[in-house]
């Protein structure tokens, strides 16, 4: 949202100042990494998160088209994606933008990987074929999503870096999670927007995606309460949810009724 351009002409000065203060947290400018003579992206990630990987090299030393990622995502991507490397996996990124992330994923996953990116912006069409296939359409359009997944021959990893809007994130998840392979993962990033009104969120608001996840958590524990499933499309096949700051990983697998055993001797 270009807040200044939209709000300023419509508001008296005093109201504008109040509004700007109230929603000062809604924006990512204040989190921009400060480059100076003693700091660089690689060292920042190494020192803060104790992380070193080929992915870090690919991100920090990127000389191709722009890739835009928060620093703390790099160790998390590597933790969840590394076991898929070098295989003929099917990877879908929602949100192509300048195209740098698709290039990074191509180098990371290797030539055998089937890499697709989707974006609502027709400008992204020009990136088609550079590092992966780019298809133009909205993450909210199930017919479009179906055609992309069909073209990919299925999907093993989804990375949602698209609209980041609270109405879109669960809708896309509900549709695509069903199509994800067993053992596959669904990653949603930039979930700071769950706290921003401009993205349909807000602290403990109805639209906040973490509230949706709470439904899934309740469903995962349905064995232990009598309430109905609220998000069956996800929870019937969700074997794990990993929550980090602004980034969530959902694992898909077959679900079994939990059982327990006592194994071993009793000492009297």
What does the binding site for ligand SAM look like in residue numbers (CB under 6 A)? 67-69, 93-98, 100-101, 118-121, 138-140, 161-163, 168
CB of 196 to ligand SAM, least distance (A): 14
CB closer to ligand SAM out of 48 and 68: 68
CB closer to ligand SAM out of 97 and 235: 97
Question: Which SS3 state, helix, strand or coil, does residue 136 take?
Answer: strand
Buried b (16+ CB within 10 A) or exposed e, 64-78: bbebebbbbbbbbbb
CB of 18 to ligand SAM, least distance (A): 29
CA–CA separation, 33 and 36 (whole Å): 10
CB closer to ligand SAM out of 45 and 220: 45
Contact partners, residue 17, CB within 8 Å, separation at least 6: none
51: DSSP letter: -
Is the dihedral angle over the CA atoms 29, 163, 134, 72 positive or is it negative?
positive
Phi-psi region of 89 (alpha: psi -120 to 50; beta: other; left: phi over 0): beta
CB closer to ligand SAM out of 164 and 252: 164
CB closer to ligand SAM out of 169 and 220: 169
CB of 85 to ligand SAM, least distance (A): 18
CB of 117 to ligand SAM, least distance (A): 7
CB of 86 to ligand SAM, least distance (A): 22
- Number of helices (H) and strands (E) in the chain: give both, helices first: 10, 7
Structure tokens at 10: 């419509």
């Amino acid at each position: 949202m270009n807040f200044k351009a939209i709000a300023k002409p419509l508001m008296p000065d005093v109201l504008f100042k109040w509004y700007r203060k109230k929603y000062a947290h809604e924006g990512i400018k204040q989190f921009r990494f400060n480059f100076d003579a003693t700091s660089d992206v690689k060292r920042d990630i190494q020192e803060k998160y104790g992380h070193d990987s080929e992915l870090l090299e690919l991100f920090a030393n990127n000389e191709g088209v722009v890739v835009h990622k928060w620093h703390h995502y790099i160790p998390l991507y590597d933790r969840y994606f590394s076991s898929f490397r070098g295989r003929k996996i099917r990877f879908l990124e929602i949100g192509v933008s300048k195209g740098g992330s698709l290039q990074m994923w191509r180098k990371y996953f290797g030539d055998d990987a089937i890499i697709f990116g989707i974006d609502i912006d027709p400008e992204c069409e020009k990136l088609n074929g550079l590092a992966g296939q780019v298809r133009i359409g909205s993450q909210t359009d199930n017919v479009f999503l179906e055609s992309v997944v069909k073209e990919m021959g299925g999907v093993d990893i989804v990375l949602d870096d698209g609209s980041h809007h609270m109405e879109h994130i669960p809708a896309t998840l509900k549709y695509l999670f069903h199509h994800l392979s067993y053992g596959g993962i669904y990653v949603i990033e930039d979930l700071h927007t769950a706290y921003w009104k401009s993205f349909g969120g807000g602290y403990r608001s109805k639209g906040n995606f973490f509230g949706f996840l709470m439904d899934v958590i309740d469903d995962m524990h349905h064995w232990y309460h009598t309430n109905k499933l609220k998000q069956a499309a996800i929870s019937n096949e969700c074997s794990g949810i990993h929550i980090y700051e602004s980034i969530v990983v959902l694992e898909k697998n077959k679900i079994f009724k939990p059982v327990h055993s006592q194994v071993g001797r009793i000492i009297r």
